[in-house]
Amino acid sequence: MEDQQHRTDALVVGTGYAGAIAALRLAEAGVRTLVLERGRRWPVTAQGDTFATQRDLDGRAAWLSERSPLTDKTLDVYTGVLESLDGDGLTMIAAAGVGGASLLSNATMVEPSPALFRQAFGDVLDHTEMTTRWYREARDLIGCSPIPQDVYASEFYRSARSFAEQLDRAGIPYSLVDLAVDWDVVREEMAGRRVAAEVAGLNLFGVNSGAQRSVDVTILARAEATGRVEVRPLSVVTSVRPDGSGGYAVAYERIDERGTVLERHEVRTRTLVLAAGTLGTTRLLMRARAAGALPDLDGALGTRVGNSEVITARTGMPENNPTQGGPCAILVRDWETNPHAPVSLLNFPWVDAPAGEGWITTIGACPSPALGSFRFDEKKDDVVLSWPVDDPRVTVMAKAVQDTLDRLDAANPGSSTAFARVGTTGGNVVGGVPLGLVTGHDGQVHGHPGLYVVDSSLLHGSSGGVPPALTVAAVAARTVAGMVARVAG
């Protein structure tokens, strides 16, 4: 099998929020751009059967693996939407597919408070600049809004309203959160004209109704429509190296949907943009350093990794249809009065909740200490993640969330907390290529002109105690603007 060589003006690896923004801005600047994505495209069908669901699990749920930390079922090997990486203290999950994490996240778009932002980023990013320009740009690009009142008032969202009533009784602040959701499609679900996906809480592996405003149908679609962007799905990047002429050579394998290698290619480019996410980007750079291709990468590579996720469940309340009404509509902002740490909680549907027991489940986030790290295992040819789940600086997150839940339980007699624990399966893990340490402030890797990082790996272990998607997009918008100014200038 011979390598096939190509050349492109700019090459983007990854098609999530960051990769899509990079592709769009490069195209708008007139730069012809190739985008490589390891996963497949997931066009939503009229039959509403594109994605696996919690009730119908198969290989579409996992990336080339028979197992997933999200099920005990043995799966067929397929290029599904989630890769899992078993680490020390944490199993990390990472998206695969054209659209990346935007395909299957809860589509929650939250900006941290000024204090939480500064706690997360220190002097690396200016909060005023971010909130007045880049968060706004990210919202405009993604297109997000809170749940409309007619949808919120429907029977499908009774559990969200019940949660809000309990928060009111406890005096805990909350708001209706911005979501990257097409509410007209949700209304069609409610009317039975589309398959029930969001309103049935079946969004963990993708949204079969098409209600998710994922970037494959928004930002990336705009980039492709310019005619200057080509997206190649099922293209797994295996290595990155300087090409000897001031640019970079990127090797990748074109695979089929069962993971069989069909062809091997090498692409050369003057501008290489890594947007493969925390796991994918860190993996590529650490592999390149271990192979001697990029030996001078900063020693901070692989460090400042954080996991902000805390999972909770409460029971003993009036029946409130917890299996319906997604994605998360209510954002708890217990940011100032919690004695342990600021707490964010998002109600989310639980399709397996026991009937008749009045469950409400939430996914929480606290400002995460950047205590995790990746190392490269040459025998495995892969990164290994370590997360100190028993460190007091980590366990305080669960204490903070428990304090919020205790106040909820006290204000709502009969309710009790079933569990509250720091997540050991992390989908909100960020860091590994810290901005300002491994890269400059425009994401360009120190000592490597033309090599940029623009994704969640830039964050210093935290997005300020809130879900990271909007912050990832805002940071990407900022770094991509600096990168495009260099490339197109």
Domain harbouring 5, CATH code: 3.50.50.60
347 has which bridge partners?
Answer: 362
Is the Cα torsion angle 358, 360, 361, 365 positive or negative in sign?
negative
Q: Does any domain span residue 371?
A: no
Enter the tokens of residue 413. Answer: 């007699």
What's the domain count of the chain? 1
Distance of alpha carbon 271 from the chain centroid: 24
Kindly state the average pLDDT of the residues 62-66. Answer: 96
**Residue 192 belongs to a domain:** no
Residue-level pLDDT at 371: 93
* pLDDT at residue 2 is higher than 70: no
Residue that is written with structure tokens 């069989």 in the block? 260
In contact, 281 and 432? CB cutoff 8 Å: yes
Task: Judge whether 138 lies within some domain.
Answer: yes
Q: The dihedral of CA 25, 27, 28, 31: what is its sign?
A: positive
In 65-126, DSSP assigns E strands to: 82-86, 91-95, 108-109
Q: Is residue 410 part of a domain?
A: no
Other C-beta atoms closer than 10 Å to the C-beta of 413 total: 8
**Residue 122 phi, psi dihedral angles, 5° rounding:** 55, -130
What is the dihedral angle through the alpha carbons of 277, 174, 140, 143, rounded to the nearest 10 degrees? 80
Joined tokens for residue 423: 């997540």
* Within a domain: 392: no
Pick the residue with more confidence: 56 or 459?
A: 459
Does the residue 338 lie in any domain? no
- Retrieve residue 448's tokens: 């490597």
Mean pLDDT of the chain: 94
Per DSSP, helices labelled H in 263-421 are 277-290, 392-411
% of the chain exceeding 70 in pLDDT: 98
Question: Is the separation of the CB atoms in 158 and 166 below 8 Å?
Answer: no
Is 241 part of a structural domain of the chain? Answer: yes
Residue-wise pLDDT for 276-309, tens only, equals: 999 999 999 999 999 999 999 999 999 999 998 8
Compute the average pLDDT of residues 262-286: 97
Range of the structural domain that residue 109 is part of: 1-42+81-143+213-299+425-489
Is 5 a residue whose pLDDT tops 80? no
pLDDT for 1: 36
Q: Can you read off the two tokens belonging to residue 349?
A: 């549907």
Residue 481 lies in a domain: yes
pLDDT at 3: 55
Tell me: the pLDDT tens digits for 184-223?
Answer: 999 999 999 999 999 999 999 999 999 999 999 999 999 9
Q: Can you tell me the mean pLDDT for 350-366?
A: 87
- Of 65-69, 125-129, 151-155, 435-439, which gets the smallest average pLDDT? 65-69
Q: What is the mean pLDDT of residues 50-60?
A: 94
The contacts of residue 111 (CB under 8 Å, 6+ apart) are: 117, 131, 135, 466, 470, 471, 474
Partners of 95 in the beta sheet?
A: 82
